Chains A and B, each alone.
Chain A
C-alpha cells in the first residue's frame, strides 16, 4: 500500500435502495443525519453568529464566542450552516478568504490531543502534543502578512478541562494575540460553564460574547418536522402535534422528536396488512412509539418478576416502614421475607436462595446493593420509589 493512503471504507456491492413508498420517503427525510439546507426556527441565532464571524473576518481580528444549550437544540448544525454561508460568500469574493477547522472534545482520548489535531488540520504536520503546542504558539504569536483568518470550532468544550486548564487557556488566549487572526467558537451544554469550572484568567479570556440556544417549543418542533417532510403526506396533523407537544414538555430535543416520528412510521408500516397500501401515521401509532421510547420499564419488570422476588420487594418496603429509614441490611429484610412467606403460606426459603433473589433484583437495578462478599450484612436500598413498587404489586 502507498505510504500516504487515504483511509476509506469498502463500497457497497449494491447501491442503497431508493425509498419505495410514502412512509419510506418520510423516514429518509426524518433521519437525524439528513440535515436540511436551512434550519427552521434558528434564524435569530444564525444571524448573530454570522455577523459575529463575518465582522471578525472582515476586520482581520480575532475573538471568542461561547455557545450553550441543552442537547438537540441545533447548536452544531447552526454553526455549520453559518460556516457554509460564509464559505459561499468568500467564494463570491464578498468577504476575504478564511479557513475553517473543527475539533471535538469527545473524539479525543486526551485533552492535549487538541493541539495535535489543530496543527494537523492547519499545516498537515504531525507532532507530539507538547511540540504541537509550541508550534501553534509560535504560529499564532509571530506576524505573517499573508495569513488568512482561521475559524476554529471547538465542540464539547467541557471535555477539554484539565487540572491546570492550560488547553482551554491557550484556546482562548491565542485569539487575543495581535497577529493570530483566530476566531474561536466554543460549544458546550451548560450555560454557566465558564463560571463553574474555569479559573478566572480563562473565563475572562473567553469574554462575554455568549449565546444560549433555548429548547424548542412545541410549535417550533412541529415546524421542523413539517419542513423536513416537505409536503410528503405521511402524518396526520394531530399525530404531529402530539409528538411535538410531548417532546417539548420533556426536553425540547429535536433529535428525540425525529426519532419518535421515524419509529411511528415503522409501527404504521408493520400494522398495515399489505406492504403496498399504507395509510397515514395516526394518533395510535404515535402513542405506541411514545410509550416505547418514554415509559420506564421498572414497573413492567416488577410485574414480571417471580413470586419470591415480588415478596422480597414487599419485605424491603415493610422493613423500611418499620425502621423509618430508606436503607436496611439484607439480614433485616430477610427476616421480614420469611414472615411474609409464612403469611402467604409458602415454604420459607433459605438464606442462599434469599441472597440469590436479592442479587437478581440488584442486577436489574430495582435494588441498589453493596458488593456480595458482605453476605448478610450487605445494605439494600430501593432504586425505584416505594409508590411505584406498591402500584406494580397491587394490580392482580
Chain B
C-alpha cells in the first residue's frame, strides 16, 4: 500500500491527509516535497513538470500547496491573453488586492519585477512563495523575455519564490534560442492499468458494495483500456454506464455474485458506447436518456450522420463539378466530358505508374474556368452564366463546401478546392440522378 509521506518541516496529520488524497502518486509527491524543503528554506528557482494529459500534474501540485497551506498562486496561461492579467494575478495573490493598482496599462516584464521588488521589501516572504503556471507552453507565444524571466524570477526579484511550470510538452521544445536558466525537470508517468483500476474504484456507489464496483471497473477497463488511458475520460464513461450495469440487479435478474451474467449484459453496451458516446457522436445527456427509455441505442441519429444538406439544383451540380475537378486529373477531362473526343489510346489514358489514388492524396486545386466547363458539361439543360451561378459559387465557399486557395487574386482566375467527402457527394448526386462514380478517374 501507499507509503506515508514524511518531511520534518510539516505537521504529520497534514502529510497524512495529503497522502490519502494522492493515490498512486507517492513517488512524485515525495520528490516534490523534497524539492520544496521546509517552508522557510529556499527552493529551486524553477521546476518544470511534464507528463500526459490527466497524469495528475496540476492535481498533485495544487493538493500539496493547498493542504500544506503554502503561499501560492495557480495561473492558467490560457486565461492570460495579455501579460498584464498574469502579473496582476500573481501580485494580488501575494501582496493583497490593492497591490496591482500601480501596474501600468500594458506592463512589461521589468515593470512586474520592479513592482514585485518594491512590494516584497514591505512584505518579505517568510515562506517560499510558489507561482504555478499551468499550460506553460503558451508562454512561448508571449513576449520572448517571459519564459527566461520566469525561469530566473528568484534571482531577479531577490525573494524566496519558486516558479512551477506545468505542461504536456517536453522541455526540449521550450528552450529559447538565446539560452536560459535550466529548470529542474520532473516527469509524471502515465498511470498503469492497475493504478487506473485502483483510482477509479475509489468513487464507488453508496448503495452497492465496493467489490461490485471494482469488478465493473475491471470490465470497463477491459473494453476501453486499449483505446483510452485518460483518467478523466474513463471516469466519465464509468459514471455514464454504471446504471446500465446495475439494471439486472435492480430487476432481480441477477445477483451480485453472477459476474458472468453482468458481464454478458454490459459488454455489448460498452462496445456500442465506444462508437457513439466516446467519439461524442451522441451527447452524454442523450446517452443517459436512452438508457432510461430502454430504446435501442443504434437507431439514434448520430452527429456524423447529419451531413445531409439541402441545396439548390444548380448548387448541387456546381458542387458535383467541383468534386470532379478536384479529384480527376485535368488531362482526363477530354475523355470524360467531351461528346466527340476523338481517339484516345487506352495506354495513354491510364497511366500505370499512378498507383496512389487521388482520394488518398486529397483534393487538388482547380481554376474557375475548369469548374464552369465541367459544370456545363454535366448539366443537361442550357444554363446562362448569370450572376446567380457565380454567387452560388461564392456562397458554397462561405458554407465551407468549397474553399478558395491562394488569396492573391480574388477576381481574375480564382482557384478553389472541393472539401466534401465522397459519401456526401454521392448522396447529392443521387438526388439529381447523376451517377458520379462513372465519372471518377479513381474508380475506372
* Residue ranges of A at the interface with B (Cβ–Cβ < 8 Å): 351-352, 355-356, 359-360, 362-364, 369, 371-373, 375
Contacts and interface: CB of A to CB of B under 8 A. Distances in A.
A88 B177 CA distance: 56
Contacts of A359: 175, 177, 179
Chain A interface, >50% SS class? helix
A371 B172 contact: no
Nearest to A362: B177
Interface string B157-182: 00000000000001111111111000
A373 B178 CA distance: 14
A352 B170 contact: yes
A372 B176 contact: yes
Interface in B170-215: 170-179
A362 B179 CA distance: 8
B140 interface: yes
A363 B177 contact: yes
Interface residues of B, number: 11
B135 to A, nearest CB: 15
6 contacts: A352-B170, A359-B175, A360-B179, A364-B179, A372-B174, A372-B176
Contacts of B176: 372
A372 B171 CA distance: 10
B179 A356 contact: no
Nearest to B137: A373
Nearest to B174: A372
Given A359-B175, A360-B179, 11 more contacts: A352-B171, A355-B172, A356-B175, A359-B177, A369-B177, A371-B177, A372-B173, A372-B174, A372-B175, A373-B173, A375-B172
Contacts of A356: 172, 175
B172 A363 contact: no
A369 B173 CA distance: 13
A375 B171 CA distance: 10
B179 A363 contact: yes
A375 B177 CA distance: 12
Contacts of A372: 172-177
B140 A373 contact: yes
A342 B341 CA distance: 65
B178 to A, nearest CB: 6
A359 B180 CA distance: 11
A355 B174 CA distance: 11
A375 B174 CA distance: 10
Nearest to A353: B172
Interface string B46-81: 000000000000000000000000000000000000
Nearest to A351: B172
Nearest to A375: B173
A364 B176 CA distance: 12
A363 B174 contact: no
A390 to B, nearest CB: 25
A359 B176 CA distance: 9
Contacts of B171: 352
A362 to B, nearest CB: 6
A349 to B, nearest CB: 13
Contacts of A375: 172-173
A373 B175 CA distance: 8
A359 B175 CA distance: 8
Nearest to B141: A373
Contacts of B170: 352
| Ranked 4 nearest A-B pairs via Cβ | A363-B179, A355-B172, A373-B173, A372-B175
